[in-house]
Structure 1
Amino acid sequence: MRYHTRAFIAAAGTALFLTGATAAYADGSGHGEARSVQTARSAVSASSSATVSATSGPLGKILVNNKGHTLYLFQSDKTDKSTCNGDCAKAWPPLKAHGKPTAGTGVNSKLLSTITRSDGSKQVTYKGHPLYTFVDDTKAGQTNGQGLDAFGAKWYVLGTDGKEITKTPPSSPSGGY
């Protein structure tokens, strides 16, 4: 009997968490569910050290997180300072970490660091650029945020050399690598 009670409580808690996350981002943009999933992923990845790796594709060698999701820089950011907060950070979740970030395959560990965001959390940087994912990149390798002008500046994929990649990805039905 105790087992069933624990299972019910666990299921109810999970449902409550996911419902709350969806409601928090249901802003009429049609991306509430994608954002709630991304928020859950961010919460899980923020609970451990973040890993930044490299992958190759149509845009060249780019940085990705531990789930293979593309990492972007925001041109409005100043070196070692994030300017993306509030609604911006909901659409472009910062790559957060507790502790030192880990360099995966193809990444120069000397270029990885963290900064302290305005909310006190730690955000991963690469060659001084704060790193972000994009809520509309729902699968590994997608680059749907490449070249978008949002929240006052452009967003670009970051290359393994620490420089923004400004070319446009070729059109493909898969939307990614």
Structure 2
Amino acid sequence: MSRNRITLTGIACVAALGLAACGGGGSYGGGSDGKASTATREASTATDISTVKVSDSPLGHILVDGAGRTLYLFTADGKNTNSMKCDTACLKLWPPAEGKPKAGSGADAGLIGTTKGSAPQATYAGHPLYYYAKDKAPEDLKGQGIDGIWYVLNAKGSAVKQAAPSTDSDGDSGY
């Protein structure tokens, strides 16, 4: 029994070291006040803002990142300006898409930019881009229309204001 316990402890330590080595590669977090947040980084681990591209969805052609995660705009933001005053909980739920992306399939390179500041946030048609932490899979649209201020964007950079598809019994997108 003691040998099994030692083996399990060793496996757990190796796994923990492996996970620690995987983290910290990107710069996520930092709202308008420039503060990085561990919670924000954790919520954003599946992001790839190196590319902004267009993908088919039940809402039509929408913007996604290089990993296929849905990108959102916040209607109160100014052109190329993150106006969102966000505490840690807010940043965890709506992490900014930080970095300088390139145009992928279907995206207009002339519409891609960044906000100014210590942690540039990706923009499209002047809209700062965000993720929604409850979107777990590339196809998720769970942030669509929340509070009437969060929307996906189409290839022209306009907010898509139609309702998101209904969800199934476990709360996941039904497609």
TM-score, normalised via structure 2 length? 0.71
Between Structure 1 and Structure 2, how many residues are aligned? 144
Counterpart residue number, 2:127 = 129
- Alpha carbons 2:151, 2:159 under 8 Å: kept: yes
Deviations 1:8-67 (A, max 9, x none): 87644455689xxxxxxxxxxxxxxx977533335xx4xxx6210101121111000111
Deviations 1:75-118 (A, max 9, x none): 11111111233332221111111xx411010000000001135x
2:121 is paired with a residue whose SS is strand
Amino-acid identity (%): 36
The counterpart of 2:44, out of the listed 39, 43, 48, is 39
CA distance in 2, matches of 1:10, 1:105: 39
1:122 is paired with a residue whose SS is coil
The counterpart of 2:98, out of the listed 96, 99, 103, is 96
Give the unaligned 5+ runs of structure 1. 1-6, 19-33
- Letter of the 1:72 counterpart: Y
- Alpha carbons 1:51, 1:65 under 8 Å: kept: yes
Counterpart residue number, 1:148 = 146
Alignment of 1:152-171 (within 5 A): 154-171=149-166
Counterpart residue number, 1:29 = none
1:62 is paired with a residue whose SS is strand
CA distance in 2, matches of 1:17, 1:39: 16
Alignment of 1:15-94 (within 5 A): 37-42=42-47, 45=48, 50-84=50-84, 85-86=86-87, 87-94=89-96
Q: Which has the higher helix share?
A: 1
The CA RMSD measured in Å over matched residues stands at: 2.8
CA distance in 2, matches of 1:139, 1:35: 17
TM-score, normalised via structure 1 length? 0.70
Counterpart residue number, 1:23 = none
- Alpha carbons 1:50, 1:66 under 8 Å: kept: yes
Shift of residue 134, structure 1, vs aligned partner: 0.3
- Letter of the 2:108 counterpart: N
2:61 is paired with a residue whose SS is strand
- Alpha carbons 2:144, 2:151 under 8 Å: kept: yes
Give the unaligned 5+ runs of structure 2. 1-10, 23-38
CA distance in 2, matches of 1:160, 1:67: 17
